[in-house]
Amino acid sequence: MASKKSCGRYAARGVSAGKEEVHAAVDKLDSGIFKGAFCKITEDYLTGSKAKCNVIHSDGSGTKSIIAYLYYKETGDASVFRGISQDSIVMNIDDLLCIGAFERILLSNTVNRNARNFGGKPLAELILGAEEFLAKLRKLGLKIYSGGGETADTGDLTGSVVVDSCAVAVMRRKDVISGTGIKAGLSIVGLSSAGKASYEDEENSGIGSNGLTSARHDMLCPYYRDAYPETYDSNTPKNLVYCGPYKLGDKLEGSTLTIGKALLSPTRTYAPVIMKIAKKYPGLIKGLVHCSGGGQTKCVRFGRGVHFVKDSLMPVPPIFNAIKKASGTSDSEMFEVYNMGHRMEVYCKSSDVDKVVKTANSFGIEAAEIGHTLKSSRADGKNHVTIKYAGKVLEYGPRD
């Protein structure tokens, strides 16, 4: 059974896969009008409508912005930050997908930078990249608009740049995916995080925007530690700082991508797929889980009395195999930190699996029934996860 505490190398770098301390505080607060939903949902304080509700959600690109910073410093290519803008936005909107928020989303961006290290050229790429990606999302059918943002010069807080976003939506209560539909007796369909979707410009490694602190240090070599001391916490043990075998331009084994391009693959949004399923097959979706923080164990926080069994996973993309090989990280920790090949899960009846798979395939995204849900077999009835991979059985308990 995996520990409730975040595992080894990840925790040693000052990060937490399960964010137990955060949930210990937040879970005591008002959980909103749809308890158990993927995001907190409140009454409609903005318009006062009894038929509607509000959601405000914050997320960002995390330490992936540091990899972009390294890439920019090494190559002079500031356009790499357009992908970071996408990462920050997608980490918000794909969480909102999980509650059924597809319309009238207002988004604001916040950039915290060290102006000495991060100047006007990359900043312009971040801002223009955000506007460009929002326009692309609108063409794909997602009604999302820019509400402006803030750029703060915080040299004492950050050595390079931090990119975050905040999204606000008003939605009809009847359209909410509340999370209560996740229960025993369902199929779990995973939507691949890798490959090339029809609405993407290039191949995606599948890395997303989670686990990049460890991925960066485990993959990249000591050259970056010496050349860019502003990119890491000096309190981190030196043997865990840029301790990998690669430089950004090295080829990723089993892929057409370089290490740098693989680590910087813009986070894929599943908005077109989920919106099409919801519109074409009303009621099909019983629940959605965005496998972000917590990786393949994220699902344990949703539903009640559920045993999540993932026993038919899709092939693990090369980027994750390379991270595991370079770091020696255990399978148990890998699945708790990274998405390992699928970043969105659709919970539905077994008779509806083909509809979900075919819809994903229509956008060039691989999908498969990767598991199912059973009644919890724990004595306390709490949720738990079983992952079967490479002949191993990995068990994860509740996060509380």
Phi–psi pair at 98, nearest 5 degrees: -70, -10
CA angle 72, 78, 81 (to 5 degrees): 95
Tokens 């191993």 found at: 392
* pLDDT score for 10: 55
Q: Indicate the pairing of strand 306-310 with strand 392-396.
A: unpaired
| Tens-binned pLDDT, residue by residue, of the chain (400 aa) | 444 444 566 567 566 555 566 546 556 668 899 999 999 999 999 999 999 999 999 999 999 999 999 999 999 999 999 999 999 999 999 999 999 999 899 999 999 999 999 999 999 999 999 999 999 999 999 999 999 999 999 999 999 999 999 999 999 999 999 989 999 999 999 999 999 999 999 999 999 999 999 999 999 999 999 999 999 999 999 999 999 999 999 999 999 999 999 999 999 999 999 999 999 999 999 999 999 999 999 999 999 999 999 999 999 999 999 999 999 999 999 999 999 999 999 999 999 999 999 999 999 999 999 999 999 999 999 999 999 999 999 999 997 6
Instruction: Give me the residue spans of the domains in the chain.
Output: 1-29+177-208+268-400, 31-176
Crossing angle of helices 80-97 and 120-139, rounded to 10°: 40
* pLDDT score for 166: 97
CA angle 220, 225, 226 (to 5 degrees): 130
Q: What is the CATH T-level fold of the domain 1-29+177-208+268-400, as seen in this structure?
A: Phosphoribosyl-aminoimidazole Synthetase; Chain A, domain 2 (3.90.650)
* pLDDT score for 295: 96
CATH architecture of the domain covering 31-176: 2-Layer Sandwich (3.30)
- What's the predicted TM-score (pTM) here? 0.93
Pull the structure tokens for residue 183: 């229960």
Q: Are domains 1-29+177-208+268-400 and 31-176 of this chain identical in fold?
A: no
Task: Check residue 201 and report its DSSP letter.
Answer: S
* pLDDT score for 4: 43
**Contacts of residue 120, Cβ cutoff 8 Å, sequence gap at least 6:** none
